[in-house]
Amino acid sequence: MSSSRAVETEPTISDMIEFGRHAYAAKKYKRALVLFRSAMMRCPCARGVKRDRCNCKNYEQVAAHGGSIFREAMYTCHCDVGRTFSKCDNAHHIQALDFRAATFEAMDKLDHAMKDAEWILELAPRLPDGYLRLGKIARLQRKNEYAWKIYTAGIEANKETAVGSSPKLQQLYEARKPLHRHFSRQDPLCLPAELVAHIFSYLDFVEIPACLRVCKQWNRTLTSPLHCRLWRNMIFPEQRMDLPGVGVLRKMLSWAGRGGARKIVIPKARGLTSSKLMLLLHASPSLEHLDLGNLPSDMSFPSKEGLYKRLKHICFRSVGYSDRTSIDFPGGFPQIFLQNAASSLEHLTLAGEIPQLWCGELPSVPLLPELKSLRMSVTVASPLSFSIFYLSDAFPRLEQLCIDSNISNLDPEPVAIWRGKWEDVWPHLKVLILSTRSWRIRPYLHIERLRSTIRYLTCLNRGNSLRHIRFDFPSDDWSDIFTGSHNLFPDFDIGQFSEYRNLHSFRSTLCCISGDEARILLSNAIKTKQLTAFDIVFPEESLNGRVGDASIRHLKTYEWSCGAPTVQTLGCHEFRFRQYPENDEDLPLPRFLASFPNLRTLSISSNHYTSAEFATVVVAIMRLTHLETIYTRSVEGVALDQLRRVAQDQGVRLVHGSLPEPWPVPLGT
């Protein structure tokens, strides 16, 4: 009877663990250790004999060498323990070991706690418990990187388990989180090739070769065909003193793989020889983008026909050809090179001078049937006339035309041919950008021809193909630029002929046109709900009138545009309203801008205000409108800092600068 009662009252494993927890809570640590050890010995995995810990494993050493902690726990064993006992994921056994390790922690015996944590890992490598305890002890020992590796190993061992299904797995993630930012770095070359290319895209092209010296593995990997994209965009920065030698360039081109470079940009040609250029171009038959600046006078280009079938972008910067009569010779304009790229060339930029061959009565312009955008930034105007008509014949599919810096020698001749082929002249022209600041020094006849050319360009296809127009030139005596007849063609009335039904934007910071002129240009686009942006440039103040009168009168001529629902961007430039405005009549601009319900971006500037006074105008505008972004160059110093704070309070982004002018202009669908 007494024997059966003894059996009935014998404590179970869970009882022993509970007794141990009570002893731990009472800080009776030695008693707790005895109870937890007794609970461990009652686990069925021991099979009635003493189970020792395996001493063959060295988790810290494995982690230091980048090995697998899970594999070490799972498979490494050279002693009798592995042959005698199997793994054990009994919850009570693991719990007793975990509590005993916690007790050793409380007694500041971290070495003993570490051994018990490693024992948990040995018994149950697929459970989070051992990783949690071992990682915690490693952190207490200030071995943070080792702790991070342990937590990571535990997460990897449970990657098939849903995080939400295991509270302890969630604890693993939380425990690793503060360490992950510092220790999650890995060799980037172990990542997929697309990510490697993205990472190295933050380096200048000339900085990538230095990475080859990191180690032999990096050298082999970065120059392998897998990473050929790293070497295909050969963009040499402006700050670079000299280009690499021919031998280095040849190696880079070989690393780029079949087809060589896809993009070559050399903004400053210091160190560029004819042999280097010929090597780059000959070895890159798949070239798509070429941008060269400041070429030496003895430079030659390949003349092999059919070499380039993918070359879409060409840009020659600061290259003077006006005094050279022999094309395609060293130093001459590379006309044959352009012609050989005709089947694919879509974007051409000439910055510096218009080739002399393109000017005069019988110009020689290469036929580029696929060209979509042409930009000519002319710093020195040719004494010869520059006929736009011949360009339209050579570039029939042109969509974007930009001639800036000096356009004073533009010529509409030959008039008879214009009339005969009017419907076929640039039927796809969508973007027209013209700018100059220096034509006042030109003879009067040149100015009249220029005005006629501009008028002709704006009314091509009845103006209906144009989506974006930007004019930046002084226009004091150009009040009839969009009305009346041409001086050279008196029977041609641009106001009656043009419609501009698809115009999306009209931009200008210099060209002042009246509201009546603007109405001819913009009203149809407002009716068709196409217009999204336009600028207003205000006239100069009269010396005899009251300050602000001219700008107030000018703004009133634009009242017809108020409330246009599609307008999202407006520009207001060179205005001067009353110095101390008392009402909306003295400062009508904020109320005018507030009439546009969807206006979100404003570009605003004027040289007729001090910074502080101009800032008060901008503040008045912000209070009445729902703007998101304001661009301005007219506020400086302390006034700018104060204006930024006000803009931030109003939820407006204030940008000190001008509205971006991308090229080519994005056209969308």
Distance, in Å, from the CA atom of 117 to the CA atom of 121, rounded to the nearest integer, reads 7
Residue 6 has pLDDT above 50, yes or no: no
| Domain spans in the chain, listed from the N-terminal domain onward | 2-183
- Looking at residue 655, its pLDDT comes to 95
- Looking at residue 405, its pLDDT comes to 65
Tell me the mean pLDDT in the region 331-349: 87
Q: Are 129 and 120 in contact (CB under 8 A)?
A: yes
- Looking at residue 352, its pLDDT comes to 76
Calculate the CA 574 to chain-centre distance: 32
- Taking alpha carbons only, the member of 136, 140, 141 closest to residue 176 is 136
3-state secondary structure of 378: strand
Distance, in Å, from the CA atom of 196 to the CA atom of 181, rounded to the nearest integer, reads 19
Residue 198 has pLDDT above 90, yes or no: no
* 136, two tokens: 């915690």
Residue 478 has pLDDT above 70, yes or no: no
3-state secondary structure of 504: coil
- Taking alpha carbons only, the member of 124, 129, 119 closest to residue 88 is 124
User: What's this model's pTM, rounded to 2 decimal places?
Assistant: 0.72
Architecture of domain 2-183: Alpha Horseshoe (1.25)
Calculate the CA 589 to chain-centre distance: 35
Q: Looking at 136-145, 262-271, 609-618, which range is the least confident one?
A: 262-271
Residue 150 has pLDDT above 90, yes or no: yes
Distance, in Å, from the CA atom of 426 to the CA atom of 460, rounded to the nearest integer, reads 7
- Reported as a single tens digit per residue, the pLDDT across 26-44 is 999 999 999 999 988 888 8
Banded pLDDT at 285 (limits 50, 70, 90): very high
Distance, in Å, from the CA atom of 410 to the CA atom of 407, rounded to the nearest integer, reads 6
| Pairwise pLDDT comparison (134 vs 85), residue with the higher score | 134
Of 232-241, 544-553, 560-569, highest mean pLDDT: 560-569
| Pairwise pLDDT comparison (226 vs 388), residue with the higher score | 226
Residue 347: what are its φ and ψ, rounded to 5°?
Answer: -135, 125
Residue 629 has pLDDT above 90, yes or no: yes
Residue 412 has pLDDT above 70, yes or no: no
From residue 548, alpha-carbon distances to 363, 402, 510 in Å are 49, 35, 19
- Nearby residues of 364 by Cβ (< 8 Å), 6 or more positions away: 327, 335, 357, 358
Distance, in Å, from the CA atom of 148 to the CA atom of 651, rounded to the nearest integer, reads 42
Banded pLDDT at 331 (limits 50, 70, 90): low
Residue 459 has pLDDT above 90, yes or no: no
Of the chain, the percentage scoring pLDDT greater than 70 comes to: 86
Tell me the mean pLDDT in the region 629-655: 95
Banded pLDDT at 269 (limits 50, 70, 90): low
- Looking at residue 4, its pLDDT comes to 45
3-state secondary structure of 309: coil
Q: Looking at 304-318, 450-464, 489-503, 602-616, which range is the least confident one?
A: 489-503
Residue 489 has pLDDT above 60, yes or no: no
**Averaged pLDDT of the chain:** 85
- Looking at residue 441, its pLDDT comes to 45
- Looking at residue 507, its pLDDT comes to 94
| Pairwise pLDDT comparison (328 vs 13), residue with the higher score | 13
**E strand intervals along 249-307:** 263-266, 289-293
3-state secondary structure of 349: strand
Banded pLDDT at 325 (limits 50, 70, 90): very low
